């Protein structure tokens, strides 16, 4: 049985590309609060592939633009928006503020019942952290 300490494995994986993948990874781990599950570096320390887990369930994949080919080669850094559900929105917000990250939308309570804010990562992707878990 899945719990907050043992969330189910992700079955949907948003995938992001970064010009500076190590910097993107550090931001997502150190500022937003993801956990590194798998990081595959190249010989120079760039990231060919990484998987990060959200402590409250789910995950994202990321990698360097220079390792992107095929249909994914059209993906550009800074064009993605991801919504993260959290029971600790205020704590994440405090960590984001302390890091001096660019807050795109200030902390607010929405008319649909979410306590939420949006932060921009160093390459421009938008990360909205909110308490709204979606329709049942």
What's 31's domain CATH number? 3.10.180.10
Residue range 2-13, pLDDT digits in tens: 555 676 677 788
Integer Cα distance of 30 and 98 in angstroms: 11
- Which of the pair, 67 or 125, is modelled with greater confidence? 125
Determine, yes or no, domain membership for 63: yes
How large is the average pLDDT for residues 107-116? 96
Nearest to 66 by CA among 123, 21, 36: 21
1 within domain boundaries:
no
Quick one: residue 89, left, alpha or beta (phi over 0 = left, psi -120 to 50 = alpha)?
alpha
The answer to whether residue 115 is domain-embedded is: yes
pLDDT digits (tens, 9 = 90+) for 47-72: 999 999 999 999 999 999 988 777 77
Structural domain harbouring 118: 15-130
In the predicted model, what is the mean pLDDT of the chain? 92
Domain membership flag for residue 71: yes
Tell whether 68 is covered by a domain.
Answer: yes
> Is position 6 within any domain?
no
Q: What is the pLDDT of residue 133?
A: 92
Count of domains in the chain? 1
Check: CB of residue 128 under 8 Å from CB of residue 117. yes
């Amino acid at each position: 049985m899945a719990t907050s300490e043992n969330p189910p494995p992700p079955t949907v994986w948003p995938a992001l590309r970064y010009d500076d993948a190590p910097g993107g990874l550090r931001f997502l781990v150190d500022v937003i609060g993801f956990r590194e599950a798998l990081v595959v570096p190249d010989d120079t320390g760039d990231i060919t592939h990484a998987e990060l887990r959200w402590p409250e369930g789910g995950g994202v994949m990321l990698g360097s633009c220079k390792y992107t080919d095929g249909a994914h080669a059209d993906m550009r850094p800074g064009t993605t928006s991801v919504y993260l559900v959290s029971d600790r929105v205020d704590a994440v917000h405090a960590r984001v503020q302390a890091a001096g990250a660019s807050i795109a939308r200030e902390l607010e309570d929405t008319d649909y019942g979410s306590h939420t804010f949006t932060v921009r990562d160093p390459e421009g992707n938008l990360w909205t952290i909110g308490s709204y878990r979606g329709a049942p």
